[in-house]
Amino acid sequence: MQVYTLKNKSIEIDFIARGGQIISIKVPDAKGNIADVVVGYDTVEEALAGDAYFGALCGRYANRIVGGEFEIDGKKYQLDCNNETNHLHGGVDGFNRRNWKVSAVEIDRYVQAYQLSLVSEDGDQNYPGKLEVSVIYGLTDDNQFVIAYEAQTSKPTVINLTSHPYFNLNGAGNGSAMNHELLLNASNYTPISAELGTTSGDIVLVKDTPFDFTNAKTVESACKTDHEQIRMFDGIDHNFVLDDFDGTIKLAGVLSDPESGRKMEVYTDQPGIQIYTGAHFDGSEIGKKGAPIIQCAGLAMETQIFPNSPNYEHFPNAILRSGEKYKHVCIYKFC
């Protein structure tokens, strides 16, 4: 399978058409040493055979929908449940498993850019509406990796697209990201219900909880606490509610590695960001540099609408109607 490359004077990003999967991002550290900061595999063949979520585009509905059920205009829909009793990341044949059409495009703000496109037919994975999706992967000269999504539908449907790379700023295969410092512009988060296996619909202050990253602190300092929500997932797998959401692009969070000096800023126009510390990684899979992929081998920072949003009126709207356009921008800026 062909590897596509985005490159400027400092960084280099490789991806493939299957899932739009980002297979490497090579970034200099404070001393100019280059390392690949995305968890994954050494070869394309291993990527195709391995975890299909690594670095991939997820949809139609990224994250979870409780029971795989939702309703639009009084009509109920049932999706497959591929995550225990919930629907996750678009189902067993989600967008992360599709071969996207890839074309080089010229857009003024980018040093290089590609357009990835996909058509999801009406009834695909039991979702209503024919959905036409376009994603731009663009790289600027100041090290912004921009992922810009657009979609339109033939009939009302639900949508929540995201990208799923795991970042280890000390270099993939160099231990865990537990020592990374994380800052989030999020004063609230959505707790997980043990019964539902996903958000309960509550929006709760992070203050006085391990989920308070309003001041930078290590990932480990949160994951090593005895908080019920941390115990439930042996770490973090939660949606954070971004402050002052108004649909414009704002700083969502900053991930820093004190050892290498690398820093990544995340910007988005979405209302939430899912932080996942990869509790399911148990070292049984071998990743880059021949190293086992261990718990928190990298940190996922997925900009998004909230999980289970179609079933909560007080959550951000996740319904896209004919004649409307879904838009979503996520920027990973490397410093």
Catalytic positions, written as ranges: 164, 302
Question: CB under 8 Å to 139, separation ≥6 — which residues?
Answer: 6, 7, 8, 11, 13, 110, 111, 112, 113, 145, 146
C-alpha to C-alpha distances, 38 to 55, 83, 164, 236, nearest whole angstrom = 8, 24, 10, 19
DSSP 269-320: SSSEEEEE--TT--S-SB-GGG-B--TTSSEEEEEESPTTGGG-TTSPP-EE
Measured in whole angstroms, how far is the alpha carbon of residue 238 from the centre of its chain?
12
How many other CB atoms are there within 10 angstroms of residue 122's CB atom? 13
Q: For the purposes of burial, counting CB atoms within 10 Å of the CB of 82, is it exposed (0-12), middle (13-18) or buried (19 or more)?
A: middle
